[in-house]
Amino acid sequence: MTTSTEAPPPAAPGDAPEDAPRARGRAARKRLVPYWLLLPGILWLVVFFAAPLVYQASTSVQTGSLEEGFKVTWHFATYWDALGEYWPQFLRSVGYAATATVLCLVLGYPLAYLIAFKAGRWRNLVMILVIAPFFTSFLIRTLAWKTILADGGPVVGVLNSLHVLDVTSWLGLTEGQRLLATPLAVVCGLTYNFLPFMVLPLYTSLERIDPRLHEAAGDLYARPVTTFRRVTFPLSMPGVVAGTLLTFIPAAGDYINAELLGSTDQKMIGNVIQSQFLRVLDYPTAAALSFILMAAILAMVTIYIRKSGTEDLV
């Protein structure tokens, strides 16, 4: 008989003797709960995301034809041939995507800043206006740029009378007196399409900054520019990193803007993969090209995340 003042926990009748093994069974079952929760979704990702990537790697070293079928022959020459033939498109993709990312940052930062600190009671409305374009299919909106940048349109007219197009065509960004079917048009389209992906993470990290930090910087005689350079911008780095990644990665693989707003001289690597896969039906080359693209982007992203010191981003 227990003499302690604390009553023993009320045990269910008949529960006492075989309590230990059953509890152990329950604990084991509990340990399995997360795995049951994970199983269907992870299975989906393994079968339809990870396995295809491995499968694609094997396709890239196969040879054969559509009629005879393809066999793994460890034909690594596909990689060299693909790189040798399509390196301009690779370089172009990286160049266009990097330019668009920088433009997105330059254009998106003021907008994110406006929403975070200046919009006041208009904040929700401006936020809705940033997201609103998403509700119209991006292909329709990209086609609208065809109208905006059209040869006889007002934009070309104004830029022409200001002699801006002379300067840009001297720089090799445009050709003659037109904007459509030039690198500038493709970069403009890429910037437009991925701008919200820059603004939203920037806004999220700017919004977390305590406005009193700005006041403190001002009290310490920092000029507004200095406050921005030393306080605001460093604190918004997580947003800058997330935004640049969310812009650069999809832009580097994009082929819609180059197809709709560019000409054959602006083809990006996405266009090549698309036509190799869907039109030429040369699957090994398409697989090799997308494998190189994936490896290049993963390498660049890893280095970038290391350099910017925000590894906890993931």
Partner 1 sequence: MRAVLRWLRRHLVVLAGLATLAYLLLPNLVVLVFSFNKPNGRFNYEWQRFSTDAWSDPCGVADLCGSLGLSLQIAVWSTVGATVLGTMIAFALARYRFRARPAVNTLIFLPMAMPEVVMAASLATLFLNMGIRFGFWTILIAHVMFCLSFVVTAVKARVMSMDPRLEQAAQDLYASPAQTFLRVTLPIAAPGIAAGALLSFALSFDDFIITNFNAGSTVTFPMFVWGSAQRGTPVQINVIGTAMFLIAVLCVLGAQLLSGRRKRS
Binding to partner 1 in span 249-278, by CB under 8 A: 249-250, 252-256, 260, 270, 273-274, 277-278
Closest approach, Cβ 161 to partner 1, in A, equals 20
Chain residues 62-81 in contact with partner 1, contact rule CB under 8 A: none
3-state secondary structure 47-98: HHHHHHHHHHHHHCCEEEECCCEEEECCCCHHHHHHHHHHHHHHHHHHHHHH
For residues 214 and 232, the answer to whether their CB atoms sit within 8 Å is yes
Q: Which is nearer to partner 1, 148 or 222 (CB)?
A: 148
Q: Which amino acid is at 248?
A: F
As a whole number of angstroms, the distance between CA 43 and CA 51 comes to 10
Give the residue among 109, 123, 279 at the shortest CA–CA distance from 206: 109
Q: Which is nearer to partner 1, 56 or 168 (CB)?
A: 56
* Site track 104-123 with partner 1 (rule: CB under 8 A), x = hit: ---xx-xxxxxx--x-----
Which of 9, 17, 41, 84 contacts partner 1 by CB under 8 A?
Answer: 41
Which of 15, 22, 25, 37 contacts partner 1 by CB under 8 A?
Answer: 37
Contact status: 286 vs partner 1 (CB under 8 A): yes
Sole window of 17-25, 45-53, 79-87, 159-167 interacting with partner 1 (rule: CB under 8 A)? 45-53
Sole window of 74-82, 84-92, 124-132, 166-174 interacting with partner 1 (rule: CB under 8 A)? 124-132
* Site track 204-243 with partner 1 (rule: CB under 8 A), x = hit: ----------------------------------------
As a whole number of angstroms, the distance between CA 114 and CA 117 comes to 6
**Please, what is the end-to-end C-alpha distance for the chain in angstroms?**
57
Chain residues 172-191 in contact with partner 1, contact rule CB under 8 A: none
CA distances from 26 to 15, 19, 32, 34, 236 (A): 14, 10, 10, 14, 47
DSSP letters along 284-302, please?
HHHHHHHHHHHHHHHHHHH
- Map residue 178 onto helix, strand or coil: strand
For residues 244 and 197, the answer to whether their CB atoms sit within 8 Å is no
Q: Which is nearer to partner 1, 88 or 133 (CB)?
A: 133
Sole window of 42-50, 81-89, 170-178, 210-218 interacting with partner 1 (rule: CB under 8 A)? 42-50
